[in-house]
A and B are shown apart, each in its own frame.
Chain A
Amino acid sequence: MSELIFEKSRGGRRAFAQAPGDDHITSIPEQFLRSDKPRLPEASELQTVRHYTRLSQKNFSIDTQFYPLGSCTMKYNPRACNALALLPEFAGRHPLGPVSHGQGFLTCMYELQEMLKDVTGMKGVSLTPMAGAQGELAGVAMIKAYHESRGDTERDEIIVPDAAHGTNPATATMCGCVVKEIPTGPDGDVDMDALKAVLGPKTAGIMLTNPSTLGVFERHIKDIADMVHDAGGLLYYDGANLNAILGKVRPGDMDFDVIHMNLHKTFSTPHGGGGPGSGAVGVNKRLLPFMPIPVVTQKEVDDGVVYDWAQEEDLPQSIGRLSGFMGNSGVLLRAYVYMRMLGRDGMERVAEYATLNANYLMARLRDAGFELAFPERRASHEFIVTLKHEAKEFQLTAMDVAKALLDRNFHAPTTYFPLLVPECLLIEPTETESKETLDNFMAAMIDIAKAARDDGVQYKEAPYTMPVRRLDDVKAARELDLRYQK
């Protein structure tokens, strides 16, 4: 590890150009003041710049490495999206500033809502949820509010396939619901008999990802929608994999009642080392009154249109507010710029080339001897390789391949998820990667497996070329060291 910034500190040092002068006017009584000084770094501007620049260089990132992390859609984040979202007027705009000084921003937000409605086939969009998981929370809360508004108060069961993201069951619990997990059939589609068995008068809804986390399109989606609706439940679409179908098929047309979109996946806003995300929700007609606030509205006036916020009084049945202001608005601006740069045709190409890349890589890896979890199926924008044979025959696990890939300058695919496929690698190349990159990645995969099979090479101690070797997770959890203490 690098020296901590605290270890570089020297008493009395700081970035003098950055703080204002000393001003001693004060009317704050002693009882409210702190007596000790917080031990923050004492470093010069150059030391700080150099320290964090060097730290950044210890990261893998999309800008520096291929990042085929399944379910995460690590596509190129266009630089212009960031620069334009940080134009001084946008960056400096106070969230409670009057709409008279916000028409530019609000126009972007309104048009973003409209574009997202179009690509998802939904009737309303609220941009406020701050991440996918918060979009899920909003969605399940809307489902509950809908049932309750009809006096249908016994519905508290949310059905979740076993392949679902962990956030789905966690969200259902957070909303006070009971989780009913159903299995997946051998072909990757939902087990329809199991679904039928759990549907009933207590069914509030079902949470589905389509294409599923298994990387295949749920072919019985219409039947599922009919069955759930007939039972009185609603359908929730987890938009984690929306990249696979953008411009080809829309959740609204699949009869989903409510969806969330991960703008940081499909619409290319940055992952930022773990956030900010952005989880806009879309609803069909029956859930319109329950959308989280605020949403942006357009009003006709004499000389054009004015954009404004819809608040509590406009949406009295809303599930309420999920953030202090209006969600991750700067992220929304980045998504807006991205969508405008892609345009209509570009939006349709996203799914096409994401799918082409995934199927190409899948075919080449299959031809090279890797076992696919669902060999009879088309890949969507991602696919699963299982190393169960390699693990058994020559101790090559998914973890080993992940770490060995790091030494070959590729980020690892998602490992050990979904949980129902043993020793799995979930691989999502995204549409922004070139054929050469995919070929190089494939060559690395083949090389890793071949060395293990033919030469008995073990990767239990890989990676070797990273800033650190494999870390002791057990020690990290047992001997908690969560902050620097001198």
Chain B
Amino acid sequence: MPFIPHTEKDTREMLAAIGADSIEDLFDEIPAALRIDHLHGVPEALSEMEISRLMRERAHMDGSPMCFIGAGAYEHHIPTAVWDIATRGEFYSAYTPYQAEASQGTLQTIYEYQTMITELTGLDVSNASLYDGASGLAEAALMAVRANRKVKSGLVLLAPGVNPVYEHVAEAIAGSQGLKFEWLPVDAVTGNVAFDQLPEGQEPVAVVMQQPTFPGTLEDVDRLTDWAHEQGAFAIGIANPMSLAILKAPGHWGELGVDIACGEGQPLGVPLSSGGPYFGYMTCKQKHVRQMPGRIVGRTTDLDGNPGFALTLQAREQHIRRSKATSNICTNQGLMVTAATIYMSLLGAEGIARVAQMSHANTTRLVDGLCAIDGIERLYEGPYFHEVALKLDRPVAPVLETLASKGILGGYDLTADAGCDAVLICATETKTGTDIDACIAAYAEAMS
């Protein structure tokens, strides 16, 4: 019996202690009419050897193509130590650290994570993480409504550079609580917000901006943050945490900095893994900490006066406040946060800056090579980080299919989002000059 240790003797003795004749008797409170005899849609059991073989075959079907797709999830080198340690049973198979004395490992790790992510984002406090970047925006918007109490509009304005999927997710999660999400006008040349067309007098509760933007450009976030504050709105900044080793931290955008920062933590040591599990980070200014959703770890002292860690501010949470909680969330992405903490510790500020810098440089090489091909040009002017939107003179899908057949994932098809034939490409530090040349050559051939 896989994963069940009972011998026949055990079972007999246990039933005798209960005073039952059979295991079946233990289900006698379930109305007979509801009982099922057998499952039909589950296959027979496989041994570990058999399932290993099956999964290796399935994995082989997917292969390991050379990936130049970003669009919210990025391939980076992950040091072996990261997942070796994160999947130690003591981290992997522990529960939420409610019993603090027996969970100091997880708790101290989260405290260190909170410190690191506040350093990267330039803000005062962090929670222990949320599900992912997209759902994190929904939580940030809801938090802004609670914290920015003077404003009753429920209107959240989004800069055009915000990942469009984040808007869908925020709408699905927060839309039923009276929040309205509207896009700010876009400047067709830069792809960024059109400052000369910004609406006045709408009384938004929050303005959301993303840096680098979804199509890879760099937005004038200083000006946009100041504009948000002039409107009486909270400024919410979404940033790729990897980029923050070299780009200005959201806490320092504009005169006052953003009020809340959030985003996708995946680039910090979490594998792509078809989209998850990742983690969403969230940081904010100290004065808003009581409106923050999710778990938070604090350092305190024990009975002997020695320092230790515990979950704190739990009065905000669902298991205490029930229908009046700040969110229904009762998990953080603990394992991913553990991995990210180890990743940040191994690389340090200098290592992450090098990864960011190399990713920027590789993308520059790729873009320069691709733009030398007839029929490919940049979609937007201006600086970028490690991702660039390119306009093609023909439909994108067949080109990407041709590349895929050669084992190259040549970018994310941006056509639906951009309203023209466009592709979003990214070359992280994982790509060599040879890889980049191969991608350029494949495009040249497909476009000839």
Q: Which of A6-31 contact B (CB under 8 A)?
A: 6, 13-15, 17-29, 31
30 contacts between A and B (CB under 8 A): A5-B112, A19-B350, A21-B358, A38-B245, A41-B116, A45-B81, A48-B345, A52-B342, A59-B106, A60-B99, A61-B91, A101-B63, A104-B59, A108-B58, A114-B41, A130-B132, A174-B176, A249-B27, A271-B334, A278-B277, A327-B275, A329-B273, A329-B277, A340-B51, A344-B38, A347-B39, A378-B26, A435-B14, A469-B308, A482-B297
Q: Mark B51-78, 1 if CB is under 8 A from A, else 0.
A: 1101111111111110101011101010
Please indicate the chain A residues that have their CB under 8 angstroms from the CB of B34 in the complex.
221-222, 249, 253-254
Question: What residue in chain B is nearest A210 (Cβ atoms)?
Answer: B30
Beyond the given A1-B104, A274-B96, please list 16 additional residue pairs across the A-B interface where CB-CB is below 8 A: A20-B77, A28-B247, A29-B218, A40-B119, A55-B104, A94-B272, A118-B39, A268-B3, A275-B131, A327-B275, A327-B276, A360-B17, A432-B4, A466-B104, A477-B298, A483-B115
Interface flag for A304 (CB, 8 Å): no
B148 within 8 A of A: no
A81-123 interface (Cβ within 8 A of B): 82, 84-98, 100-105, 107-108, 114-115, 117-119, 121
- Residue contact B2 to A342, C-beta cutoff 8 Å: yes
**CB of B204 to closest CB in A, whole Å:** 20
Task: Check if A141 sits within 8 Å of B172, measured CB to CB.
Answer: yes
Whether A324 and B73, one on each chain, are in contact in the complex, defined by CB atoms closer than 8 angstroms, is yes
User: Which A residues are in CB contact (< 8 Å) with B58?
Assistant: 104-105, 107-108
Q: Find out whether the CB atom of A34 lies under 8 angstroms from the CB atom of B246.
A: yes
Q: Which of A207-221 contact B (CB under 8 A)?
A: 216-217, 219, 221
The residue in chain A whose Cβ has the minimal distance to the Cβ of B428 is A20
Q: How far is the CB of A399 from chain B (nearest CB, A)?
A: 10
Distance in angstroms between the alpha carbons of A426 and B34 in the assembled complex: 26
The complex places the Cα of A412 from the Cα of B247 at a distance, in Å, of 45
Interface positions of A from 306 to 328, Cβ below 8 Å from B: 319-328
The reply to whether B303 and A470 form a contact with Cβ atoms under 8 Å apart is yes
Does B5 interact with chain A (Cβ within 8 Å)?
Answer: yes
Give the chain B neighbours of A222 by CB distance below 8 A. 31, 33-34
- Given A469-B101, A471-B310, A481-B298, decide whether A118 and B42 contact each other with a Cβ distance below 8 A: yes
Inter-chain contact A355/B43, CB cutoff 8 Å: no
Main secondary structure of the interface of A (DSSP, over half): loop
CA distance A367 to B412 in the complex (A): 65
Q: Are A38's CB and B322's CB within 8 A?
A: no
In the bound assembly, the distance between CA atoms of A94 and B221 in angstroms comes to 29
B447 within 8 A of A: no
Complex interface: stretch among A70-78, A229-237, A388-396, A444-452: A70-78
Contact of A49 with B81 in the complex, beta carbons under 8 Å: yes
State the Cβ distance, B10 to closest chain A Cβ, in Å. Answer: 4
CB distance from B130 to the nearest CB of A (A): 9
B29, A216: Cβ atoms closer than 8 Å: yes
Q: Is A282 an interface residue (CB 8 A)?
A: no
Interface locus among B193-201, B226-234, B312-320: B312-320
Chain A residues with Cβ under 8 A from B112's Cβ?
4-6, 41, 484
Residue A69 lies at the interface, judged by CB distance under 8 Å to chain B: yes
Chain B residues, CB < 8 A from A60: 94, 99, 102-103
CB of B304 closer than 8 Å to a CB of A: yes
| Chain B residues near A102 (CB-CB < 8 A) | 62, 274
Cβ contacts B142-158/A at 8 Å (1 or 0 each) = 00000000000000000
Judged by a CB distance under 8 angstroms, whether A370 is at the interface is no
* CB <8 Å contact, A271 and B134: no
Best-buried of A221, A330, A331 by chain B (most CB within 10 Å): A330
Establish whether residues A249 and B77, one from each chain, have CB atoms under 8 Å apart when the complex forms.
no
A41 to B61, CA, bound (A): 40
Q: Decide if B3 touches A342 in the complex (CB within 8 Å).
A: yes
Q: Residue B202 at the A interface, CB < 8 A?
A: no
- What is the bound-complex CA distance between A2 and B169, given in angstroms? 40
In contact, B45 and A472 (Cβ under 8 angstroms): no
List, in ascending order, chain B residues with CB within 8 A of A137's CB. Answer: 173, 328
Q: Is A203 an interface residue (CB 8 A)?
A: no
Candidates B108, B279, B331, B360; contact of A25 at CB < 8 Å: B360
Nearest 7 interchain pairs by C-beta: A343-B45, A325-B275, A63-B89, A118-B41, A272-B335, A95-B275, A320-B172
B296 at the interface (CB under 8 A from A): yes
How distant is A4 from chain B, measured CB to nearest CB, in Å?
6
Is residue B210 contacting chain A, with contact meaning CB distance below 8 A? no
Q: Which residues of B contact A248 (CB under 8 A)?
A: 27, 30, 35-36
- Please pick, from B64, B171, B318, the residue contacting A133 in the complex, using a CB distance under 8 A: B318
Selecting from B120-128, B369-377, B436-444, the interface stretch reads B120-128
Indicate if the CB atoms of B289 and A48 lie closer than 8 Å: no
* Interfacial residues of chain A within 246-305, with CB under 8 A of chain B in the complex: 247-250, 253-254, 268, 270-278, 292
CB-CB nearest in chain B for A353: B4
Name the CB-closest residue of B to A318.
B172
| Residue A155 is within 8 A (CB to CB) of chain B in the complex | no
How far apart sit A469 and B15, CA to CA, in the bound complex (Å)?
A: 39
Given contacts A28-B218, A38-B244, A476-B312, contact A117 B41 (CB under 8 A): yes
Which residue of A170, A320, A339 is within 8 Å of B323 (Cβ)? Answer: A170
**CA of A132 to CA of B329, assembled, Å:** 9
A364 to chain B, nearest CB (A): 6
A51 in the interface (beta carbon within 8 A): yes
Interface residue B347 (Cβ < 8 Å from any Cβ of A): yes
